[in-house]
């Protein structure tokens, strides 16, 4: 690690204030160019502690940068990981106020709901599917706190992988009879198809991303708790949204989920 405890605390305060005040800020590596991945996750962890101290509850975890093309572009071999609190939950078909956000984008995802803990190391697709109660269609709203949505790897990890809101909907579906890699998704904005894809766009299989999350947590002696919601990663590129936009996602076999920005 390259940062001191007080620098980590200072950067967590910097990023969490930007989140709370809906303000974009310069990326943290502009001031601290030598930050490494351990520093970045330590800053994210302090952001999480600040939210817990504010009374928020962690309801789930997320995988980001889950396409091989994105990972290559950012110079990593696994996805990156973040957390979600109850303040990020948006009920299906309800409205999201743009005034609460900076420059949001939406991504189509598959959400896993866990019934038993998932532990690494050595976690694989089978272990994830065995621990999954059901999956649902999900729209993730990402909203980087960095100016113009521009960042590098460590900056975006520290910024909790741009997490800000998510919506789940459709049918809570057990995984036994699903081939998640082959599920097709269609995302529309204002009734026009914007993105199409399949689950395999997420590191070959969405459950693989969840297994990678469990293996990542194992390195610090943690696990994915039972009763978690895991966003397994964007199946297509994220699309920007503005006030007045309606987003609708259909996931084959799982049904649909919608939201509207006002």
Q: Which residues bind ligand 0L1 (CB under 6 A)?
A: 62, 64-65, 107, 140, 142, 144, 156, 161-162, 233-234, 238
Name the residue number minimizing CB distance to Mg ion.
140
* Residues, the chain: 262
Q: What token pair was written down for 104?
A: 């949001």
* Distance in angstroms (rounded) separating the CA atoms of residues 42 and 54: 18
In the complex, what is the shortest distance from the CB of residue 202 to ligand 0L1, in angstroms, rounded to a whole number?
10
CB 109 within 8 A of CB 140: yes
Residue (of 240, 71, 73, 47) closest to 160 by Cα position: 47
Query: Is the CB of 15 or the CB of 156 nearer to ligand 0L1?
Result: 156
Name the residue number minimizing CB distance to ligand 0L1.
64
Piece of 25-33, 80-88, 100-108, 124-132 that binds Mg ion (CB under 5 A): 100-108
Cα 60 to chain centroid distance, Å, stands at 9
Q: Are strands 246-251 and 184-189 parallel, antiparallel or unpaired?
A: antiparallel
Distance between first and last Cα of the chain: 42
CA distances from 151 to 19, 48, 146, 158 (A): 15, 20, 7, 11
Query: Is the CB of 75 or the CB of 221 nearer to ligand 0L1?
Result: 75
Site string for Mg ion, 209-228 (x = CB under 5 A): --------------------
* Distance in angstroms (rounded) separating the CA atoms of residues 239 and 19: 20
Query: Is the CB of 30 or the CB of 115 nearer to ligand 0L1?
Result: 30
- Site for Mg ion contains 140 (CB under 5 A): yes
Query: Is the CB of 147 or the CB of 171 nearer to ligand 0L1?
Result: 147
In the complex, what is the shortest distance from the CB of residue 107 to Mg ion, in angstroms, rounded to a whole number?
5
In the complex, what is the shortest distance from the CB of residue 2 to Mg ion, in angstroms, rounded to a whole number?
27
* Distance in angstroms (rounded) separating the CA atoms of residues 243 and 247: 11
Piece of 43-51, 106-114, 171-179, 198-206 that binds Mg ion (CB under 5 A): 106-114
Query: Is the CB of 3 or the CB of 153 nearer to Mg ion?
Result: 153
Binding residues for Mg ion, rule: CB under 5 A, are: 107, 140, 234
């Amino acid at each position: 690690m390259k940062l001191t405890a007080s620098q980590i605390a200072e950067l967590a305060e910097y990023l969490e204030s930007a989140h709370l005040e809906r303000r974009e800020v310069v990326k943290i590596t502009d001031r601290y160019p030598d930050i490494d991945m351990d520093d970045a996750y330590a800053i994210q962890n302090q952001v999480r502690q600040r939210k817990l101290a504010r009374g928020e509850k962690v309801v789930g975890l997320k995988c980001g940068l889950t396409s091989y093309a994105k990972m290559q572009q950012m110079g990593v071999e696994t996805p990156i990981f973040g957390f979600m609190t109850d303040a990020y939950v948006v009920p299906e078909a309800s409205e999201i106020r743009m005034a609460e956000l900076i420059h949001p984008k939406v991504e189509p995802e598959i959400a896993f709901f866990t019934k038993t803990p998932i532990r690494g190391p050595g976690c694989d697709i089978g272990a994830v599917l065995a621990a999954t109660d059901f999956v649902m269609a999900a729209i993730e709203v990402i909203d980087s706190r960095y100016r113009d949505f521009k960042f590098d790897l460590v900056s975006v990890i520290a910024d909790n992988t741009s997490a800000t809101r998510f919506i789940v909907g459709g049918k809570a579906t057990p995984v036994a009879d699903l081939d998640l890699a082959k599920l097709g998704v269609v995302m529309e904005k204002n009734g026009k198809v914007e993105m199409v894809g399949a689950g395999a766009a997420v590191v070959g299989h969405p459950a693989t991303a969840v297994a990678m999350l469990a293996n990542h947590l194992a390195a610090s002696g943690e696990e994915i708790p039972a009763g978690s919601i895991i966003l397994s990663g964007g199946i297509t590129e994220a699309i920007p949204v503005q006030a007045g936009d309606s987003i609708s996602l259909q996931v084959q076999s799982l049904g649909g989920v919608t939201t509207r920005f006002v």
